[in-house]
Amino acid sequence: MKHRIVITGVGLTCPLGNNIQDFRKNLLNDESGIRHIDIRHMGKVAAGICDFDEKKHQPRKMRKRGTRAGSISIYCANEALLDANIEFSMVDKDRVGVFVGITEHGNVETENEIHELYENELDTGLWSHHHNPRTVANAPAGEVSLNLGITGPVYTIGAACAAGNMGLIQGLQMLQLEEIDLALAGGVSESTDTFGIFAAFNAQGALGQHDDPSLSTRPLDINRNGIVVSEGGCLYTLERLEDAQKRGAKIYGEIIGHHVNSDASDFVLPNAQRQTECMRKAMRKANISANEIDIVNLHATGTKAGDIQEAKAVAEVFNSCPETYINATKGFIGHCMGAAGSVELAGNLLSFEDNKIHSCKNIDNLDPEINLNNLVQNGSVDKKVEIILNNSFGMLGINSCVIIKKFNN
């Protein structure tokens, strides 16, 4: 029999808060985390920016040597441990794992150094000797290891915008295999510090823009015009149920199902059939039916093709389920890329406590090609919540689904 894995701590920073409680409050209050920023070579763009204290858990010297993604990871890891009320000095660091999902890593540092190179007449002698450790793919997780002295398995998981869910899944699996006793797992993104991602979405005709930045991200709305890039991170403290109960931990919820698959059909266009299969196989692993799901959180990026394909997949699985409600988060905070899955799960996780389902945001005119029953609009819905299904999909056709259940003794 597999070990049951539970969430006992949440460490989070996103455009709507630096902890799960503030994030939840701002979602229910219909706040927006999007503002205009200036990006080199791009000018004014809409983006979601985090406002956390980088030096709360990290000395100035180490921050200078490290990366923004690393600083987000360090903040989230430390906050997750504090939230779990773990006396970390007493923990065997060989038995702790860190699994950080990322979209990409190293672009920010490389772009900055190339800019400085051209500003200094191509003098390569000024190229930073910190370049290599800053740009290796495992840097965000590795910086957590250095910060906390963790000597167990520590690595990142490159899974595009499905990466936040993938970090959780990897942590769960390593705990079930008894390779570790404690996992810090989820996803992070520093994407707002690179002009390249904005320029690429703009070239694709998929960069969300509006004179009012809060209206730049409009998933599912007929007037949406693309993705708003955001930074953020959410790492969870995961434990085996018996260990959490032994120390009397607060339990946010239990991971009861998950699945990952790939479209194998297009670089960017989602495949509704594969997404449908991903959700159904996750429910099969959880040994539940679609009717038992209370919340489906959409990936819903705000691109026409992406929204419509996902809506087809979700409608096929859940439109016959009268008690299943559907929401989306990117209208509030934009797209946190590698952190999206883990951050958006956190936005719904406290539904287990307050029995409210937060609304979608900025759907003034629902796209007529979106046919979803019980789509939550124009305010939260009161409902007893027992099970949440969290979708997170990414480029190159990677799909992930995680199912969380309210823990009842």
CA–CA gap between residue 330 and residue 226 (Å, rounded)? 11
The pLDDT value given to residue 157: 97
Once rounded to an integer, what is the mean pLDDT over residues 117-137?
86
Extended strands (E) in 106-173? 154-158
Once rounded to an integer, what is the mean pLDDT over residues 151-165?
97
pLDDT of 409 higher than 80: no
User: Are residues 311 and 220 in contact, defined by beta-carbon separation less than 8 angstroms?
Assistant: yes
Once rounded to an integer, what is the mean pLDDT over residues 112-132?
85
171 domain residue, yes or no: yes
Element (H, E) at 259: strand 253-262
The pLDDT value given to residue 110: 87
Residues 35 and 131 in one domain: yes
User: Are residues 77 and 163 in contact, defined by beta-carbon separation less than 8 angstroms?
Assistant: no
Residues 79 and 163 in one domain: yes
Residues 237 and 267 in one domain: no
Residues 288 and 376 in one domain: yes
pLDDT of 130 higher than 80: yes
The pLDDT value given to residue 362: 97
The pLDDT value given to residue 113: 85
pLDDT of 254 higher than 80: yes
CATH number for the domain spanning 287: value is 3.40.47.10
> Is the pTM higher than 0.85?
yes
The pLDDT value given to residue 19: 98
Which of 225, 246, 267 terminates a domain? The answer is 246
Residues 351 and 329 in one domain: yes
- Please count the CA atoms within 13 angstroms of the CA of 352 that sit on its side-chain side: 20
Torsions phi, psi of 172, nearest 5? -60, -45
What is the tens place of the pLDDT at every residue in 295-306? 999 999 999 999
Once rounded to an integer, what is the mean pLDDT over residues 148-177?
98
β-sheet bridge partners, residue 36: 46
The pLDDT value given to residue 117: 86
Range of the domain at 315: 257-405
Residues 187 and 311 in one domain: no
The tokens for 169 are 């899944």
Which of 214, 246, 278 terminates a domain? The answer is 246
pLDDT of 273 higher than 80: yes
The pLDDT value given to residue 150: 98
Residues 262 and 240 in one domain: no
Please give the tally of structural domains in the chain.
2
The pLDDT value given to residue 361: 98
pLDDT of 93 higher than 90: yes
Extended strands (E) in 103-222? 154-158, 182-189
The DSSP output letter for 3 is P
Residues 181 and 224 in one domain: yes
CA–CA gap between residue 206 and residue 229 (Å, rounded)? 11
- Confidence grade of residue 120 (pLDDT, cut at 50, 70, 90): confident
CA–CA gap between residue 324 and residue 357 (Å, rounded)? 11
pLDDT of 8 higher than 90: yes
The pLDDT value given to residue 123: 84
Q: Residue 250 carries which side chain, given as an amino acid letter?
A: K
Residues 23 and 117 in one domain: yes
